[in-house]
Amino acid sequence: MAEPVFAEPLHPGPASAISLEAVSKTYAGGVRALDDVSLEVPSGAFVAVVGPSGSGKSTLMHCAAGLDVPTTGSVRIEGVEVSGLGETRRTELRRERIGFVFQAYNLIPSLSVADNITLPLRLAGKTPGPGWLRELVSRVGLPERLDARPAELSGGQQQRVAIARALIARPAVVFADEPTGALDLRTARTVLALLRSLVTELGQTVVMVTHDPAAAAYADTALVMADGRVVEQVGSPTAPAVANRLVALEEG
Ligand SMILES: Nc1ncnc2c1ncn2[C@@H]1O[C@H](COP(=O)(O)OP(=O)(O)OP(=O)(O)O)[C@@H](O)[C@H]1O
């Protein structure tokens, strides 16, 4: 079994937010997308997952977030073994404990900003505390736009709504899949700085899949993937350090 990788937390918590032990995933057709991956994401850490196309980043995220189950091995979200859960309970756990941010924002066009942000809670039959909603919209810089529809916002503003929506249920982990992939450079930086501040100031755990070394530099740790394995862990990553690793992998 591969040695587990421990991503360093900025604010060490009492337990791992996410824990993978000897996780492998083989898709129908025989592609081994994850090959014996063991890692811990401590509570309060900001972890970037980088690697060449096809190295297994999305598969790792899907398994770690309970969107999919591994073929073998164990995935725990806050200590709860995901593989042992039925589909319904796994969906509930995901809804309650995981937030998602996607490249395409995935907001509902017919709903206001406020209703988009609170949707995950309402789906779970809960209402947000008014203080928390206020704090979130102020943190993402949109307190004046609560009644707007997504189409009335810029791409960066829509992504900030999506980040507020990901946080509304106070999840154990926010998974961000190429969150700046559709944004220009300057807007991307504001979104990454926002994610960074949520980790630093709120202790939010964030796992971000990215192909962009400059984005990975906002994280505490970059996990470098190749051929379904985590082949390296870069602490306090810089863009050149991550870019060099990726170039070396593509050449090697
Ligand atoms: N649903 C699927 N069925 C079969 N093979 C799959 C499936 N999803 C992914 N794969 C394969 O698994 C491997 C890992 O894919 P994955 O999408 O996890 O990589 P990635 O690093 O996220 O790639 P990219 O950066 O291009 O998004 C690839 O060989 C891919 O073709």
pLDDT digits (tens, 9 = 90+) for 161-197: 999 999 999 999 999 999 999 999 999 999 999 999 9
Average pLDDT over residues 149-172: 96
Cβ-contact 233, 7 below 8 angstroms: yes
Domains along the chain?
5-251 (3.40.50.300)
- The DSSP call for residue 30 is S
CA-wise closest residue to 189 among 217, 220, 224: 217
Cβ-contact 23, 72 below 8 angstroms: yes
- SS3 state at 97: helix
Residue 237 Cβ inside 6 Å of ligand 1? The answer reads no
Q: Which neighbouring-strand residues pair with 224? A: 50, 232
Tokens of 110: 């017919």
Atom of ligand 1 nearest to the CA of 55: 21
Residue closest by Cα to atom 26 of ligand 1 = 53
**Which residue reads 């980040």 in tokens?**
163
Residue 11 has pLDDT above 90, yes or no: no
- Which residue stretches of the chain are H helix? 57-64, 87-97, 113-123, 130-139, 155-167, 185-202, 213-216, 239-251
Residue 33 Cβ inside 6 Å of ligand 1? The answer reads yes
Contacts of 129 (CB under 8 A, 6+ apart): none
Higher pLDDT, 174 or 13: 174
Q: Please give the distance, rounded to the nearest whole angstrom, from the Cα atom of residue 239 to the centre of ligand 1.
A: 24
Q: Please give the distance, rounded to the nearest whole angstrom, from the Cα atom of residue 38 to the centre of ligand 1.
A: 19
CA 161 to chain centre: 15
Average pLDDT over residues 220-235: 97
193 vs 118: CA distance, rounded Å = 23
Residue 124 has pLDDT above 60, yes or no: yes
CA 137 to chain centre: 20
CA-wise closest residue to 48 among 230, 202, 187: 230
What is the percentage of the chain residues whose pLDDT exceeds 90?
A: 85
CA-wise closest residue to 66 among 15, 100, 42: 100
Amino acid 9: pLDDT: 41
What is the helix (H) or strand (E) element at residue 89, kind and residue range?
A: helix 87-97
- ipTM associated with this complex: 0.98
Per-residue pLDDT of 38-78, as tens digits, reads 999 999 999 999 999 999 999 999 999 999 999 999 999 99
- Torsion, CA 95, CA 101, CA 105, CA 108, rounded to 10: 10
Residue 58 Cβ inside 6 Å of ligand 1? The answer reads yes
Return mean pLDDT, the chain.
92
Cβ-contact 173, 77 below 8 angstroms: yes
Amino acid 13: pLDDT: 45
250 vs 216: CA distance, rounded Å = 18
